[in-house]
Structure 1
Amino acid sequence: MQFGTHVLQLDVEAETNHIVTLMRQIIQQDFRRRGAVVGLSGGIDSATVLGLAVRAFGAERVLAVMMPEKASSPVSEAYALQLAAKFGVQAIKEDLTAGLEGLGCYARQDEAVRSVFPDYDPAVDKIKLVLPGDLLERGSLNVYSLSLTGADGVEQRRVLPVAAYLQIVAASNMKQRSRMLMLYYHAEQRNYAVIGTANRNEHAQGFFVKYGDGGADIQPIQHLYKTQIYQLAHYLGVTQEIIARTPTTDTYTAECSQEEFYFRLPFEQMDLIWYGLDHDIPAADVAAALQISPQQVEHVYRDLAQKSRSTEYLRAKPLMVR
């Protein structure tokens, strides 16, 4: 059969049953935990994981925790509440703003932003980090720019010096690590397990924070491509608002899609190209399926391989020195 999008199609019922069975076995039998805690962000991944957890343990043994901070979109909380109500799951809100202020998260981030935009005013200016969006055309390096949109709606972009980039990322990573701390509080209080929400795209390409959203007791969707998560979401009954929502980072004050922040391609294209790379499919066959050139496919092959190599330390377990 000719290579095409069919290679990513799941038997959603069988896949759901497989994941649910393993979740029960690992959490109840191996870990001796009574239920599940899921950080519910209002995005497709955590929504799908919540649906799987409800299938595995029943709504009465699943807790959804929303953890906004001052840069979070209010839409995220609204969608999370709507989904929790549909699935019959208790949802609680933990606002992390005060804790992050105490840790210096915002002050450290603002300091780095002002090294690039000296007149930056966090009260009115919106910021985000973005990569070049022309991966198919040029295969350019993953060099970040800082985008600042003022009160007048005018956007400016400047390439980030290494020191400023590292400081902004280090400060914003406090958000993910604080969320994991909160999830484990609620899990330990109930003798529950923390369920991770990372998909294959995020884990293999390093789009996660070590000991932040990368830390959990079990990762039930880590083997699935993003487009396959959508297939499961439809089957599990995730609300249409979440399914239709553009995946975002929800980390910076300006709206920022995961595509412009990290992946640089729509998931429909990237997943098929990545499948081709994983299964040694010639670039010409992948290109024919997507109606692009083999050279464009090779650009993506190189980008995927480079991201995997450069983020290997994120996936490494702590090493023992003897």
Structure 2
Amino acid sequence: MDFSLELEKIGHFITEKLAGKDAVLGISGGVDSALVLSILARVLPKERIRAFFMPDSNTPETDLDDVKKLSESTKIEIKIINIESVVEAFRSLLSIEDRYAMGNVKSRTRMIILYYFANINNGLVIGTTNRTEHLIGYYTKFGDGACDIEPIMHLYKQEVWDFATFMKVPDNIIRKKPSAGLWEGQTDEDEIGMTYSDLDKVLEDVFDLNLKSLTDKHKKVEELHERSEHKRKLPEFIKAGENKDR
């Protein structure tokens, strides 16, 4: 992949879709959001970029360190908003014990904050989902999956890592194990049950080469895709004029 051309293509996409509006972005400390911020810093005036890091009690201190390094490397201010009090309010109000449900609450809390800032600043929320995560539905519906434009959704995870290296994203961010930070010690690959390297290869087989059900890994990925189809579709509805008496 020619990353110079890729940067130009994504930059054009972003500026066209924003149409002069501000870019509002959530920063996690991971490589996907770091790459997107690095791209935004190249293609937009700094005053139009509004970046937010929203930690909670399970967020590792190393993520905060990495976010500070990212801010320095991009020369973009990243505002820190601790969401722990909001998360705890939900936990108490709803007596939440299931950690997956709690993880979704955290993700949707961050979405609310991003859309608040988009609302008051006439901005659009920029997504950070890559193709790998999109195809298996590895994101929270109406959480980190909620945004106005998705500039890296056409890139597999390995391509994100390679592009991030080209964009000089801080090494610590590129090398760290991917994690959604939903609970202490959580990693993407453990939760998915497959390395991103294997996952990318299987996804390419299934969706780019139409090679299906070759191995147990292929069947697992096909099942993940099928189970998460509702995340990639608009809500179901009755079409106007459908089933009318004639």
Q: TM-score, normalised on structure 2? A: 0.91
Could you report, residue by residue, the CA deviation over 1:85-132 in whole angstroms, capped at 9, with x for unpaired residues?
21110111111011111122697343xxxxxxxxxxxxxxxxxxxxxx
Match of 1:305, SS?
helix
Q: Is the 8 A contact 1:105 1:171 kept in 2?
A: no
What letter corresponds to residue 27 of structure 1 in structure 2? L
CA contact (8 A) 2:51 2:79 kept: yes
Once residues 240 and 65 of structure 1 are traced to their aligned partners in structure 2, the CA distance between those partners, rounded to angstroms, is 21
Q: What is the aligned partner in structure 1 of residue 9 from structure 2?
A: 18
Deviation of the 1:172 alpha carbon:
2.1
Distance between the aligned counterparts of 1:86 and 1:58, measured in 2?
A: 15
- 1:258 aligned partner: 188
| Correspondent of 1:87 among 60, 71, 74 | 74
Q: Could you list the per-position Cα deviations for residues 175-200 of structure 1 after superposition, in whole angstroms to 9, with x for gaps in the alignment?
A: 00000111111222222211101111
Equivalent position to 1:180, from 81, 104, 111: 111
Q: For 1:227-306, list aligned pairs within 5 A.
A: 227-253=158-184, 255-262=185-192, 264-280=193-209, 298-306=215-223
**C-alpha distance 281-205 of structure 1, shift in aligned 2 (>3 A):** closer
Name the SS of the counterpart of 1:104 in structure 2.
helix
Mapped partners of 1:207, 1:251: distance in 2: 12
Partner Cα distance (2:110, 2:197) in 1: 29
Q: Is the 8 A contact 1:79 1:242 kept in 2?
A: yes
Amino acid at match of 1:317: L
Return the index of the structure with the highest Cα Rg.
1
Q: In the alignment, which residue of structure 1 is the partner of 2:243?
A: none
TM-score scaled to structure 1, two decimals?
A: 0.70
1:16-165 counterparts in 2 under 5 A?
A: 16-28=7-19, 32-33=20-21, 35-104=22-91, 108-110=95-97
> Percent identical across equivalent pairs?
27
Size of the aligned set, in residue pairs, is 239
Give the secondary-structure state (helix, strand or coil) at the position aligned to 1:303.
Answer: helix
Report the CA distance shift for 1:236/1:281 in structure 2 as closer, same or farther (over 3 A): same
Cα RMSD over matched residues?
A: 1.9
Q: What is the rounded CA distance, in whole Å, between the counterparts of 1:105 and 1:75 in structure 2?
A: 28
Letter in 1 for 2:73: K
- Structure 2: where are the runs of 5+ without partners? 241-246
Q: Distance in 2 between matches of 1:78 and 1:109?
A: 30
Task: Determine helix, strand or coil for the equivalent of 2:78.
Answer: strand
- Answer whether contact 1:210 1:314 (CA < 8 A) is retained: yes
Letter in 1 for 2:74: F
Partner of residue 224, structure 2 = 307
Contact 2:158 2:200 in 1 (8 A): yes
Shift of 1:73: 1.2
One-letter amino acid of the counterpart of residue 80, structure 1 = V
Q: Could you tell me which amino acid in structure 2 is paired with residue 203 of structure 1?
A: H
Distance 1:186 1:282, change over 3 A: closer
Q: 1:246 to 1:105 in 2, by over 3 A?
A: farther
